[in-house]
Amino acid sequence: MACKDQINACVKLLLLSVVLCAARASADRTKTLDFDVKPGGVVQTFSAKLKKYKCIFRYACQGGTNEQWQMSVGLSDDDQMFSCSVWRPQGKSYLFFTQFKAEIKGAKIEYATAYSQTAVGGQRDVALKEEEYSVSESSGESAYSYFQRG
């Protein structure tokens, strides 16, 4: 994929989803938090925790003004499956993400994906290609990363 295509995919980033397993979680085992994604090229961090699990979203982006995004975390009834999703509920983002990283503390990532576009207005989800991100593990912690290449 050409560098320009990667940049275009980054500009449209709507949803980052890191899921350890599909988990049915009751209302007291989930939470959704609002946060502002701030442009300026400086790495910013937002996180949420449920019991022993923590989801950390780090990013750097440019352009526009602050956008309201959300992070949802959920835990299965047996405390063995944790999920984390980060997205912009208002739809399309006008920010250019130069990098992002989702880290999971307390568990290993079994499934992760990111979308440059999600299904709205009759359109289909457009996932980033596997070569555009990596899932890694170090010191027992899992991370899901995208860094602009080029």
pLDDT tens across 28-45, in order? 799 999 999 999 999 999
Domain that holds residue 131: 3-147
pLDDT band at 19 (very low <50, low <70, confident <90, very high): very low
* Cα four-point dihedral sign 107, 141, 46, 38: negative
The mean predicted confidence, pLDDT, of the chain is 76
With a threshold of 0.95, does the pTM exceed it?
A: no
Q: How many domains does the chain have?
A: 1
- Cα separation of 63 and 24, whole Å? 37
pLDDT band at 2 (very low <50, low <70, confident <90, very high): very low
Residue keyed to tokens 């010191």: 139
What's the rounded mean pLDDT across residues 116-128? 73
